[in-house]
Chain A
Amino acid sequence: MSYATHLQSTHDEHAHGPAHGITRWIFTTNHKDIGTLYLWFSFSMFLIGGAMAMLIRAELFKPGLQFFEPGFFNQLTTMHGLIMIFGAVMPGFVGLANWMIPMMIGAPDMALPRMNNWSFWLLPFAFTLLLGTIFMKGPAPDFGWTAYAPLSTIYGPKSTDFFIFSIHLMGLSSIMGAINIIATILNLRAPGMTLMKMPIFVWTWLITAFLLIAVMPVLAGVVTMMLMDRNFGTSFFNAAGGGDPVLYQHVFWFFGHPEVYIMILPSFGIMSEIIPTFSRKKLFGYTSMVYATSSIALLSFLVWAHHMFTTGIPLVGEIFFMFVTMLIAVPTGVKIFNWVATMFRGALSFETPMLFATAFLVLFTMGGFSGLMLAMVPADYQYHDTYFVVAHFHYVLVPGAIFGIIAAIYYWLPKWTGHLYSETLGKIHFWLSAISINVLFFPMHFLGLAGMPRRIPDYALEFADFNRIASIGGFVFGASQFLFLYIVIKTIRGGEKAPDKVWEGAHGLEWTLSSPPPYHSFSAPPKVH
């Protein structure tokens, strides 16, 4: 692909900059401002959710109850999960989509800018409701982020209703964000940019947005049924009234499994941008990447019951869900092979984004392997609800989703701010994170296999050693994220001037814009050949 831009001159006359003061952020309809809001929101939630993880690791540092009552421990694990998933990872990806999609497809802004503003500004209210439960009388939600009935319905604390409404708000925000992304991608592409010429990041987000629209209403439905069971005397999930507690799990995981891919597909897209850039070589197998991503998305609707193998699903059901789950390994494998083939015989260099991308490749693959092991129903009977599962999903979510977001920020930060970040500090941040994350999560595999269930505040003595190691890894990982914050703030404040095309091997429309880019990205569409 090659691009022609013939608009720099017309730009400056029509461009009007942002408003000043706080109103800029409250009333903004600009995709970059909203992207920035999303990213800062995501980072602050990452710190809050991370602080909870630190408290959890402190309690688990040694056997015995050190700091918390068991009930409060459950509130911590519940909040940690909800905040990281709905507060840190999802808004982080939406922030990147807001910033990058218009710049990557040659659009001036998102298609629905006012709705964009609303979908962001719902989030602070949603999380105020959710976090507010910690300060209310009685316990905060304490049933795990999965909120299984009847623990969350008849037995749930009063604050559960706040949890339900905050989920409704988050769902609204996500659905509107997804509609906006689909509308932007389908309508605002530069002339000549056919679907199969779009950058893979745009492709993965398009597919993710469809997943969001498909499953967020399901989540809204299931929490509404919870609300009715709790307050209006219905018995959807209450066996004594003719309902079925397992029905909750079916509906929840029908949302929950596609949700897993909502949190990883954009990361796949980021990797497909970063790895070719630093390999100085075109992405291997563009077409198969698109098809692999689509098949992962489609299969994600057919595997939900693999989260529920121990609930007593009939044999035929278990075999079906085992096979389909295993099948997901095929397109996922294709993606991994494509990335490795992209690196192979390239001219590699390892700036910070590429370091994070390489760690993603290795560690996400390891998370994939444990996922494959979990798909084997007989073995899953032993792994299920143990630390093996905790290790598995943290391997795919932290080096998968979170490293993806961090890599993307390092990759595009010079473009956004017009300044280069400190490569030395970036590398220190990488090595601290990459080493500590393995010290943190790898021993959890051993704990799970040795028989430690998840979501317990205290444990038998044979689990003490690995828990101590994991906690130390956790503290180092948590602390090193402040270095990341420092690097980002330092880059925003100043630094070496970044060129328009920040990376030697980078391709794509965003690199044809100035660094920092104009307030309205492309006011005349570029031509894509």
Chain B
Amino acid sequence: MLPSTLLRALFFSLLWVVSLPSQADYVCNMTSGVTEISREIHNLHMIIFWICVVIGISVFSVMFYAIIWHRKSRGATAAHFHENTIVEIIWTIIPFTILIFMAMPATRLLIKMHNTQIDSELSIKITGHQWRWEYEYIGEGVHFISNLTTPKLETQNRAVKNPHYLREVDNPLVLPIGKKIRFLTTASDVIHAWWVPALGIKKDAIPGFINEAWARIEQPGTYRGQCAELCGALHGFMPIVVEAKTEADYQAWLQEKKAAAKQAQSGQVSGQAPPEPPQTKQSQSNHNHPGANP
């Protein structure tokens, strides 16, 4: 079997891995998030996970029982059975039944998630660009672009990385809590995906098409995510930061933004188009460094 030197080498390399200093607090499961939907997704995830664990334990324990006790070296002689229709029917029907019980809560939740049209109180249009997000508060005249702010020095390992490394932006998406918010995602160049785990939303942003999702955020706070669909060289460098505020704080922020927008408009001679992100082709921008901000 395994020579002892090899075992020892493995043991010490594992020890070395374990003893390395931890860089930050890590998570190893899905979090339950801050919306009803995200919490229900988390529950569904945990239910399915435990069903899999139970099935796994039962299948593997039969298998390991055979591996341990039915060894030739223990003097086991092979039995001769090689089919049994009843057993085979039973182990087709049982998994099928389990699947039905898994499908029911999943379908119920899915129907709830698809309910985007009715009674939404605020609509945000999200446009993905290579490589930044653009947010538009529909009907409010508020509209801005959200860029990564992590300094180049940090990505190049020439400065200490801050706690929100690669997950910080100049203009976060500010949203009110307690309201049903509808998100409309689209893109101007390639396919992106807008993902904020705490809201339980991942939706592709597809050029020429508009997708819908909704959330009702329950707690104020800062929620971070990033683009989830490969969209070119800087795909890993287009984060999303959502700041959820109470209604009063949100209204104050919105008025401030509106005033600023009005001021900017009156300062200019004619109604200027909002700043367009650079329409660079990906092949030409491959040598850009991440973290390059305007």
Contacts and interface: CB of A to CB of B under 8 A. Distances in A.
A and B: interacting chains: yes
Interface of A: 62-66, 69-72, 74, 138-139, 142-144, 148, 150-151, 154-158, 239-240, 244-246, 279-288, 310-312, 315, 318-319, 322-323, 326-327, 329-330, 333-334, 336-337, 340-350, 358, 361-362, 365-366, 369, 372-373, 376-379, 381-382, 384-386, 427-428, 431-432, 435, 446, 449-451, 453-466, 468-469, 472, 476, 505
A305 B222 CA distance: 33
Contacts of B232: 74, 142, 151, 155
A287 B233 contact: no
Interface residues of B, number: 111
Interface stretch (B139-147, B162-170, B174-182, B268-276): B162-170
B286 interface: yes
Contact of A69 (B1, B81, B102, B233): B233
A468 B56 contact: no
A334 B48 contact: no
B41 A330 contact: no
Nearest to B155: A65
B32 to A, nearest CB: 11
Interface in B189-246: 189-191, 193, 195, 197, 200-204, 206-209, 211-212, 224-237
A382 B197 contact: yes
Contacts of A449: 27-30
B45 A382 contact: yes
B235 A155 contact: no
Contacts of A379: 41, 44-45, 48, 106
Given A311-B204, A451-B197, A365 B102 contact: no
Contact of B99 (A139, A315, A327): A327
A217 to B, nearest CB: 25
A318 B62 contact: no
A150 to B, nearest CB: 5
B99 to A, nearest CB: 5
Contact of B49 (A148, A362, A373): A373
B28 A284 contact: no
B91 A337 contact: yes
A284 B81 CA distance: 7
Nearest to B25: A462
Contacts of B29: 446, 449-450
29 contacts: A63-B166, A70-B234, A70-B236, A74-B232, A142-B282, A150-B189, A155-B130, A246-B209, A280-B72, A311-B211, A322-B103, A342-B82, A343-B70, A345-B66, A372-B48, A384-B193, A385-B195, A428-B6, A446-B26, A446-B29, A449-B28, A449-B29, A450-B29, A451-B197, A453-B236, A460-B165, A464-B23, A469-B17, A472-B17
Given A155-B189, A378-B40, A428 B99 contact: no
A151 B106 CA distance: 32
B236 A310 contact: no
A157 B283 contact: yes
